[in-house]
Structure 1
Amino acid sequence: MLTMNYTYRIYPNVVQQTELRSWLETCPGVYNYALRELKDWIASRKCSVDRCSLEKEYIIPADEPFPSYHRQQNNLPKAKKQFPHLGQVHSQVLQTTIRRLHDTWEAFQKRGHGFPRFKKFGQFKSFVFPQFKNNPINGFTIKLPKIGEVPINLHRPIPNGFKVKQVRVLSRIRGTQWYVVVTIESDISVPDVPVHGRAIGIDLGLERFLTASDRFFQERPKFFKSMQRQLKLLQRRAARKQKGSQNWEKAQIEVARMHHRIANRRRDFHLKTAHQLCDRVQTIFAEDLNVKGLTRGMLRKDCVDAAFGQFLSLTEWVCWKRGVYFAKVNPHGTSQTCPSCFATVSKGLEVREHHCPECGYRTHRDHAAAEMVLHRGQENVVSQGLWGTETACQVGLSGVYDLDKWRGAGIPNRETGKPAL
């Protein structure tokens, strides 16, 4: 079973936007009510039998079962009689809201932290229609239950053999832009991409966004920092408005639109860079970075602006779509090891050149790390017996072959120095 997500922009009218916003206000209320039941049941059973809690707690009978997903879902028809406004929302949308809470609860039990929190006003940005009897997309409109037909920008068609499984409605820029994430599935099975063809290792950094083992490199655009002055000006204007007024809301929309533009530019750069890598090679190895740790250091603003985690995720998706093998390796010590003789060469962050005192190999620090990533990746695939013959394995999906603007675009940026091995 193959499942994918396609994102499209939709253009609801004023009445439909009002209805969608009211649903996004109702769903958090259902979420918080179900969470309150869950917390009350836990609080009534966390104290010892021979003493009472110092804080006031609800007394729930001992034979009362745990408020599971199915119990709270079955209580929704009773809640609609008590609260008639719940009937305006599609029933399955409310069910998926309860499911969302219990998915968070189950994830909390597995990892031991991250207890579900109450949702404030405006925190719910999406809701889900979990199933459709017929295909909701008809031409350039999508039919949403209880909402009606909404114009959609179908910039790429649904591939043949796929059917729509569910649709998630997203609100962006404080409810001024709307998107749908269409989940499609097919019965076909796509085999894993084997290791084949030419292989490279890539190193991600802040001086250069990407450096490959074949000396190809990509400079790092500073998306946030380049627009930080404009964003600061918009935020200062918003702070001077009276909170809750119409002018304040307009100023907040301008700030949200600027953040949305920065995120779109960053994602576009990541996708184009991933496609450029797939045009060059058939096997890519990258470092398995601790992205969360990078966002807590001294250079956290630059690391968040570069978004290494998003780039690795998008690169993995593009490689799967393009039939390119992608794997991550252990990043420990890649910049402190000589790729020529594998001797340990300690150097601080201020040292940007690798010079091995053992073998005399000299190159850029990031290039040496990329060569070390390539060596570790080849060691892993050889030890696992994955290295095979070269093959052409691609899935016939829309957008895979529309890459003529990247192919034959010229010679990539290269350094001068020792040729790549």
Structure 2
Amino acid sequence: MLSLNYQYKLKVNKQQASTIDEWLDICKSVYNFALRERKDWVNSRKCPIDRCSLESEYIIPPDAPRPTYARQCKSLGMAKKKFPRLSIPQSQVLQQTLKGLEEAFVNMWNRGFGFPRFKKKMRSFVFPQVKPDCIQGKTITLPKLGKLKLVLSRPIPEGFVPKQVRVIKKASGYYANIILQLDVNVPDVPAHGYPIGIDLGLEEFLATSEGELIKGHKFLKESEGELKLLQGQLKNKKKGSRRWKNISRRIARLYEKITNCRKDFFYKTAHHLCDQAGMIFVEDLNLKALGRSALRKACLDAAWGTFVSILSYVCWKRGVYFAKVNANGTSQICPECGVNCGKKTLSERVHKCPDCGFQADRDVAAAMVVKRRGESTVGATGRKLDQGNDVGDEVSTSSSVTL
């Protein structure tokens, strides 16, 4: 099964926007109530069995079952009789809200995430099932919302059927994330073509094993002055007033612009790299640790994790083999002779091997090490397939594989 996620902007009128906002508010209330129910049950099991706190205590019967996704979904039916407002959204939308809470707890248990928090705003809701013919021309029909106009920035691929729709509220308007599916098996991309290695950095966003250096983006840093000015104005406004809302909207739009500019840069860079090779290897960085280091602000602004995920998708789409390699010691090992030259300070930007005398830019040398490690993981398959071909031949071969 092949799945694609396409996002389109919705052109809604005031009544439709008001309905979507009301649904978001109801979903937020359901999420927070379910989380409160779970927290109360957990806290009631923390107190000692022989005494109670002098201040407050969560008293829940000992035979009360633990609130789970299935039990809370079942209780929605009784809650709708007591609170008719819960009957306004489609029932599956509220069930998906509870499912999101369940996923938050699963991520806490299995992936080490923090305890789920209460939401001040709900920004999206999901229709897990939609009709196959819900998209007609430039409109989409959703349960209880009716027909909504779409800005078809790109056509729906032939043969794909809509399976799920997520309605998202952003600073720039309302959007629909549509999951399209086609019943076909797509094999993994085999190792082939000319390989390149990539080293990610801060001074230069990335360096390739071919010696190319791509200048780093600083979209957040360039907008910090405007953000500081707007946030200073927001601080002096009364919360909830008209001017407070206007400035908050401007701040949200600026953050969205930064995100869009960053994503546009990532996609263009990924396609540029796929034009050059049939195999791309990148470092498997510990992004969680880098996000807590002394350079965390610059690392988070660089958004290496987002770029790597976009690069892997673009490689899959264009038929380029993609793989991650071990990142330990890539800046210490000489790519020419393989000798460990020791650690370098951040100010050392040139790699000089004391054994073989090889000299190159530090990031380029690290990218060459990444390339060698990638070749060792897949063997010499790529070299054997394209022996005798130059880089231009390999590029034309890999570029022709598109979906």
Match of 2:198, SS? strand
Encode CA deviations 1:168-197: one digit per residue, 9 max, x unaligned: 111111xx5111110111210110001000
Distance 1:72 1:52 in 2: 28
User: Equivalent of 1:373, from 360, 370, 373?
Assistant: 370
Distance 1:38 1:388 in 2: 58
Shift of 1:320: 0.5
Equivalent residue for 1:105?
105
Count of equivalent residues = 392
Equivalent residue for 1:19?
19
- The answer to whether the Cα contact below 8 Å between 2:93 and 2:125 also exists between their aligned partners in 1 is yes
- The answer to whether the Cα contact below 8 Å between 1:194 and 1:387 also exists between their aligned partners in 2 is no
Percentage of matched positions with identical amino acids: 50
Equivalent residue for 1:403?
none
Distance 1:388 1:97 in 2: 52
Equivalent residue for 2:138?
140
Query: Once superposed, what is the RMSD of the aligned Cα atoms?
Result: 2.1
Shift of 1:43: 2.8
Equivalent residue for 1:416?
none
Shift of 1:297: 2.4
Seen in structure 2, the aligned counterparts of structure 1 residues 71 and 14 have a Cα distance that, compared at 3 Å, is: same
1:336 maps to a residue whose letter is Q
Equivalent residue for 2:358?
361
Seen in structure 2, the aligned counterparts of structure 1 residues 36 and 320 have a Cα distance that, compared at 3 Å, is: same
Equivalent residue for 2:81?
81
Alignment of 1:108-123 (within 5 A): 108-120=108-120, 122=121
More helix per residue: 2
Seen in structure 2, the aligned counterparts of structure 1 residues 39 and 360 have a Cα distance that, compared at 3 Å, is: same
Distance 2:401 2:277 in 1: 17
Equivalent residue for 2:288?
292
Shift of 1:393: 9.7
1:351 maps to a residue whose letter is E
**Gapped runs of 5+ residues in structure 2?**
387-396
- The answer to whether the Cα contact below 8 Å between 1:202 and 1:370 also exists between their aligned partners in 2 is yes
Match of 1:336, SS? coil
Alignment of 1:237-386 (within 5 A): 237-346=233-342, 347-382=344-379
- The answer to whether the Cα contact below 8 Å between 2:194 and 2:383 also exists between their aligned partners in 1 is no
Seen in structure 2, the aligned counterparts of structure 1 residues 211 and 112 have a Cα distance that, compared at 3 Å, is: closer
Match of 2:141, SS? strand
Alignment partner of 1:222 is 2:255: no
Normalised by the length of structure 2, the TM-score is 0.92
Normalised by the length of structure 1, the TM-score is 0.88
Encode CA deviations 1:363-386: one digit per residue, 9 max, x unaligned: 100010000000111111129x89
- The answer to whether the Cα contact below 8 Å between 2:220 and 2:258 also exists between their aligned partners in 1 is yes
Distance 1:187 1:20 in 2: 32
Distance 1:88 1:117 in 2: 25
Shift of 1:319: 0.3
- The answer to whether the Cα contact below 8 Å between 2:90 and 2:144 also exists between their aligned partners in 1 is yes
Encode CA deviations 1:51-91: one digit per residue, 9 max, x unaligned: 54666334333333222212111111211111111111111
Match of 1:164, SS? strand
Equivalent residue for 1:169?
167
- The answer to whether the Cα contact below 8 Å between 1:211 and 1:366 also exists between their aligned partners in 2 is yes
**Gapped runs of 5+ residues in structure 1?**
398-421
User: Equivalent of 1:192, from 188, 209, 223?
Assistant: 188
1:142 maps to a residue whose letter is I
2:135 maps to a residue whose letter is I
1:303 maps to a residue whose letter is C
